[in-house]
Amino acid sequence: MPDSVDPAKLGTPCGDGGTCAPPMECVKYYGIAGARGPQFSSCEITCSEKSVCPASTTCVTIADGPGAVCRPST
Among 54, 56, 35, 33, CA closest to 45: 54
pLDDT-derived band at 58 (thresholds 50, 70, 90) equals: very high
What is the structure's pLDDT at 1? 47
CB atoms within 10 A of CB 5: 21
Rounded CA Rg of the chain: 12
Predicted structure pTM score? 0.85
**pLDDT tens digit sequence for 12-53:** 999 999 999 999 999 999 987 777 889 999 999 999 988 889
